[in-house]
């Protein structure tokens, strides 16, 4: 069986000489939760954008279930895969429900409005993200965490099999960060949604992801399950920090101690 | 998370905004009818509402019939259509550019149409009959140039705005040069440059009507696309929308509508900027209500302003565009400040 999502030999750069991503290969299996980590400028967000077809690679292909994205209809891709971007339009005055209804777009013909069973999916997406009570509020009235959940609800209304997330917890406080991660864990486990997430917080990556891919200078330097990847040498080589790694019931937890001295 | 795990009560199906939007829509239409009526009553000779009504439905040789039917009605209706066109164009462009300062001027419509009109009025005054068609074509060409210049594997809103600024200043400079070199003829150009409904009659209305109708029908089909584009290019693309085609179509329809309007009434600048703003503060960004209300608002504003412009300064007929800016700008600033606090 073809992997749910596959990247083959991706290359991307603003100028041919210096590439942000080079020789990137990745296979994501159905139902897994993959975390992409790496220092700033390692190309992880660019990789995610290429996976989501928001950026076109200069070389290489992205395929979903063995079919290259470049040859697929955009709506067909959108029925199967979507992404929660890091930042969203912040001045939109529409209700949460109106936003979430737009998630049905890939399932509708160009003249069709969301109604009937599509509205039931919208109800479900609102409930699963606990946005039901806020559905008639304007996006402008929401807190940062609620707004993030509203956009996630729109993603869920697309009923994707693959969900990409670009540092979704960056602007959230710790409680909202964990709330979001727990929500995604439920979507991953109960709905079987394949998750690919770029994440800054390495301890959260270790706790929630099945598999970690670490990037540096545009290519993968480590890959494996969290306990295989998160070792003292990894923090030294990839992030340039000295760290202590503890084991908390099988989950590695790291404690940064300082920058590596040359 | 507890609320999710325990399940939520059934969702309220009805959006409370729908009721509110319905009220705005009815109030808007009522206000539009009112300003049209006042526009027909007002002028150097006041005609009471009852006589206006009689003059509208009964053909006769009475003076009231002459004034209402032959002078005021075509002028009011031409202003109404122009306002509708400009407001729809502005509402669309502010959405696809995701920029509150976008208006039909930003893509070169006003400066392109303006230059073409000034060329006709100053260099070929004998061909004045071709002024509307030249202004319309000038607007289309300028918008096409702006779009072409901004294209680089896609036309991003930022590059479109920058290309628009550059093209606008170039065309503006050409217009000013023409006017300085022919300063004795500038007097004739000025009312057109500020936008005026003086002397607009049935032929003007009949020219503008089909363009407005085609533009409005096309707009209806673009509402869904506009609702996706306001979410941002990335979000629209992730929802399966063909962003570049959608944006091009919306710019095309906006150019068509705004170009048609300015070719008939001149460079009325303020409507396309301020009306969408006011309407958005009232009803938000959902184009299904935002666009029709903006259209109604554009009609109301131009008809009301023109009625004021021709009655307050009697016997001088003041260009409506200037009055719009004089009254509209302070009102707009007031709304903005209020909007920011709320």
* pLDDT tens column, B73-95: 999 999 999 999 999 999 999 98
Look at residue B18 and tell me whether its pLDDT is greater than 90. Answer: no
Query: Higher pLDDT residue, A181 or B330?
Result: A181
Look at residue B337 and tell me whether its pLDDT is greater than 80. Answer: no
- E strands present in B140-271: none
For residue B339, give every residue at least 6 positions away whose Cβ sits within 8 Å of its Cβ, in sequence order, or none.
Answer: B281
Ramachandran angles phi, psi of B202, nearest 5°: -50, -45
Residues A105, B284: C-beta atoms closer than 8 Å: no
Instruction: List CB contacts (< 8 A) between B230 and chain A.
Output: 89, 92
Q: What is the DSSP letter of A237?
A: I
Task: Average the pLDDT over A227-254 and give the result.
Answer: 92
Task: Average the pLDDT over B284-289 and give the result.
Answer: 94
Instruction: Show me where the domains of chain B are located.
Output: 81-341
Q: How far is the CA of B195 from the CAs of A99, B102, B270, B302, B309, in angstroms?
A: 39, 19, 10, 11, 12
Residues A78, B238: C-beta atoms closer than 8 Å: yes
Look at residue B1 and tell me whether its pLDDT is greater than 50. Answer: no
Q: How many CA atoms, within 13 angstroms, populate the side-chain half-sphere of residue B244?
A: 11
* pLDDT tens column, A62-106: 999 999 999 899 999 999 999 999 888 888 999 999 999 999 999
ipTM: 0.93
Task: Average the pLDDT over B261-271 and give the result.
Answer: 89
* pLDDT tens column, B151-192: 887 888 889 999 999 999 999 999 999 999 998 888 878 888
Which position has the token pair 């606090």?
B341
Q: What is the rounded average pLDDT for all residues in chain B?
A: 88
- Give the integer Cα–Cα distance in Å for B53 and B56: 5
B171 Rama sector, left if φ>0, alpha if ψ -120 to 50, beta otherwise: alpha
Cβ pair A139, A85 in contact under 8 A: no
The fraction of chain B above a pLDDT of 90, given in percent, is 54
Exposed / middle / buried, residue B45 (Cβ in 10 Å: 0-12, 13-18, 19+): exposed
Between 3.20.20.70, 3.30.70.260, 3.40.50.720, 3.40.50.300, what CATH number should domain A5-80+160-259 receive?
A: 3.40.50.300
pLDDT band with cut points at 50, 70 and 90 for residue B2: very low
Look at residue B284 and tell me whether its pLDDT is greater than 60. Answer: yes
Q: What is the pLDDT of residue B9?
A: 42
| CATH number for region B81-341 | 1.10.3470.10
Residue A32 neighbours by CB distance under 10 Å: 17
Instruction: Give the minimum alpha-carbon distance from B13 to chain A in angstroms, rounded to a whole number.
Output: 9
Number of A:B CB contacts under 8 A? 97
Closest among B67, B299, B34, B82 to B196, alpha carbons compared: B82
CA angle B299, B224, B99 (to 5 degrees): 65
Q: What is the pLDDT of residue A154?
A: 97
- Give the integer Cα–Cα distance in Å for B21 and B33: 18
Q: What is the pLDDT of residue B3?
A: 37
Residues A127, B8: C-beta atoms closer than 8 Å: yes
Q: What is the pLDDT of residue B12?
A: 56
Look at residue B340 and tell me whether its pLDDT is greater than 70. Answer: no
Look at residue B286 and tell me whether its pLDDT is greater than 90. Answer: yes
Cis peptide before B315 (omega within 30 of 0): yes
Query: Higher pLDDT residue, B1 or B141?
Result: B141
Give me the residues of B, 256-315, that contact A with CB < 8 A: 280, 284-286
Question: Is B1 in CB contact (< 8 Å) with chain A?
Answer: yes
Range with the poorest average pLDDT among A53-62, A171-180, A249-258, B323-332: B323-332
Instruction: List CB contacts (< 8 A) between A183 and chain B.
Output: 1, 4
Task: Average the pLDDT over B219-244 and give the result.
Answer: 95
Task: Average the pLDDT over B182-206 and give the result.
Answer: 87
Cα end-to-end distance, chain B, whole Å: 31
Give me the residues of B, 14-73, that contact A with CB < 8 A: 15-17
Q: What is chain A's alpha carbon radius of gyration, rounded to the nearest angstrom?
A: 19
* pLDDT tens column, A108-130: 998 888 889 999 999 999 999 99
Q: What is the pLDDT of residue B168?
A: 93
- Give the integer Cα–Cα distance in Å for B303 and B34: 10
Name the residue in chain B with its Cα closest to that of A93: B284
- Give the integer Cα–Cα distance in Å for B264 and B83: 11
Task: Average the pLDDT over B198-221 and give the result.
Answer: 94
Q: How far is the CA of A9 from the CAs of A22, A23, A32, A58, in angstroms?
A: 7, 5, 21, 10
For residue A173, give every residue at least 6 positions away whose Cβ sits within 8 Å of its Cβ, in sequence order, or none.
Answer: A145
Range with the poorest average pLDDT among A78-87, A223-232, A253-262: A253-262
For residue A37, give every residue at least 6 positions away whose Cβ sits within 8 Å of its Cβ, in sequence order, or none.
Answer: A44, A198, A199, A200, A202, A205, A212, A213, A214, A215
> Which of helix, strand or coil describes residue B145?
helix
Q: What is the rounded average pLDDT for all residues in chain A?
A: 92
Task: Average the pLDDT over A207-213 and give the result.
Answer: 95
Instruction: List CB contacts (< 8 A) between A98 and chain B.
Output: 15, 286
Residues A111, B235: C-beta atoms closer than 8 Å: no
pLDDT band with cut points at 50, 70 and 90 for residue B300: very high
Q: What is the DSSP letter of B49?
A: H
pLDDT band with cut points at 50, 70 and 90 for residue B341: very low
Range with the poorest average pLDDT among B3-17, B59-73, B237-251, B319-333: B3-17
Query: Higher pLDDT residue, B88 or B340?
Result: B88
* pLDDT tens column, B134-152: 999 999 999 999 999 998 8
pLDDT band with cut points at 50, 70 and 90 for residue A241: very high
Q: How far is the CA of A210 from the CAs of A34, A35, A156, A183, A197, in angstroms?
A: 6, 8, 21, 16, 11
Instruction: Show me where the domains of chain A are located.
Output: 5-80+160-259, 90-159
Q: What is the pLDDT of residue A252?
A: 93
Taking the C-alpha atoms of A27, A245, A205 and A2 in order, what is their torsion angle to the nearest 10 degrees? 10
Name the residue in chain B with its Cα closest to that of A99: B231
Instruction: Give the minimum alpha-carbon distance from B201 to chain A in angstroms, rounded to a whole number.
Output: 38
* pLDDT tens column, A8-37: 999 998 776 678 899 999 999 999 999 999
- Whole-model pTM: value is 0.90
Q: List the structure tokens of A179.
A: 């709330």
Q: What is the pLDDT of residue B289?
A: 95
> Which of helix, strand or coil describes residue B203?
helix
Instruction: Give the minimum alpha-carbon distance from A109 to chain B in angstroms, rounded to a whole number.
Output: 11
Q: What is the pLDDT of residue B332?
A: 73
Instruction: Give the minimum alpha-carbon distance from A127 to chain B in angstroms, rounded to a whole number.
Output: 7
């Amino acid at each position: 069986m073809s992997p749910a999502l596959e990247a083959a030999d991706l290359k991307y750069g603003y100028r041919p000489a210096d590439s942000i991503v080079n020789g990137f290969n990745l296979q994501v299996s159905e139902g897994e939760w993959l975390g992409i980590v790496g220092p700033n400028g390692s190309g992880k967000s660019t990789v995610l954008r290429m996976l989501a077809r928001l950026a076109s690679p200069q070389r290489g292909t992205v395929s979903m279930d063995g079919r290259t994205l470049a040859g697929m209809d955009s709506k067909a891709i959108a029925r199967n895969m979507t992404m929660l971007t890091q930042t969203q339009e912040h001045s939109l005055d529409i209700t949460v429900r109106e936003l979430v209804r737009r998630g049905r777009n890939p399932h509708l013909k160009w003249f069709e409005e969301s109604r009937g069973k599509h509205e039931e999916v919208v109800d479900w997406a609102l409930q699963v993200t606990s946005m039901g009570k806020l559905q008639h509020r304007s996006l402008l009235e929401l807190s940062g965490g609620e707004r993030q959940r509203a956009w996630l609800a729109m993603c869920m209304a697309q009923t994707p099999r693959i969900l990409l997330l670009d540092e979704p917890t960056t602007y959230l406080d710790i409680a909202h960060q964990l709330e979001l991660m727990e929500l995604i864990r439920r979507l991953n486990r109960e709905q079987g949604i394949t998750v690919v997430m770029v994440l800054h917080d390495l301890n959260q990556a270790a706790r929630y992801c099945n598999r970690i891919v670490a990037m540096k200078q545009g290519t993968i330097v480590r890959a494996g399950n969290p306990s295989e990847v998160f070792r003292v040498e990894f923090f030294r080589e990839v992030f340039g920090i000295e760290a202590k790694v503890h084991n908390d019931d099988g989950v590695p937890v790291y404690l940064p101690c300082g920058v590596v001295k040359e | 998370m507890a609320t999710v795990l325990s399940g939520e009560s059934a969702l309220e199906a009805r959006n409370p905004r729908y009721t509110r939007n319905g009220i705005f829509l009815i109030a808007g239409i009522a206000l539009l009818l009112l300003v049209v009526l006042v526009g027909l009553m007002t002028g150097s000779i006041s005609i009471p509402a009852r006589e206006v009504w009689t003059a509208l439905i009964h053909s006769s040789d009475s003076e009231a019939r002459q004034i209402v039917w032959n002078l005021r009605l075509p002028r009011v209706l031409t202003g109404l259509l122009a306002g509708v066109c400009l407001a729809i164009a502005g509402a669309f462009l502010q959405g696809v550019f995701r920029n509150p300062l976008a208006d039909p001027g930003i893509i070169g419509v006003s400066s392109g149409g303006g230059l073409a009109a000034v060329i006709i009025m100053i260099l070929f005054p004998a061909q004045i009959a071709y002024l509307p068609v030249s202004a319309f074509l000038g607007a289309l060409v300028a918008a096409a140039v702006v779009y072409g210049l901004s294209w680089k594997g896609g036309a991003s809103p930022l590059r479109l705005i920058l290309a628009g600024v550059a093209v606008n200043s170039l065309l503006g400079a050409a217009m000013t040069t023409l006017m300085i070199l022919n300063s004795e003829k500038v007097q004739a150009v000025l009312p057109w440059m500020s936008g005026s409904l003086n002397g607009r009659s049935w032929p003007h209305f009949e020219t503008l009507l089909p363009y407005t109708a085609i533009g409005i029908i096309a707009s209806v089909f673009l509402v869904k696309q506009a609702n996706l584009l306001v979410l941002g290019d990335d979000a629209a693309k992730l929802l399966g929308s063909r962003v570049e085609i959608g944006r091009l179509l919306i710019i095309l329809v906006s150019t068509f509508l705004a170009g048609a309007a300015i070719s008939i009434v001149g460079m009325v600048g303020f409507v396309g900027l301020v009306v969408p703003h006011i309407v958005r503060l009232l009803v938000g960004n959902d184009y299904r209500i935002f666009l029709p209300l903006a259209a109604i608002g554009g009609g109301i504003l131009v008809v009301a302003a023109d009625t004021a412009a021709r009655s307050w300064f009697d016997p001088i007929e003041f260009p409506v565009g200037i009055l719009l800016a004089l009254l509209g700008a302070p009102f707009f600033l007031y709304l903005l400040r209020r909007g920011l606090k709320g």
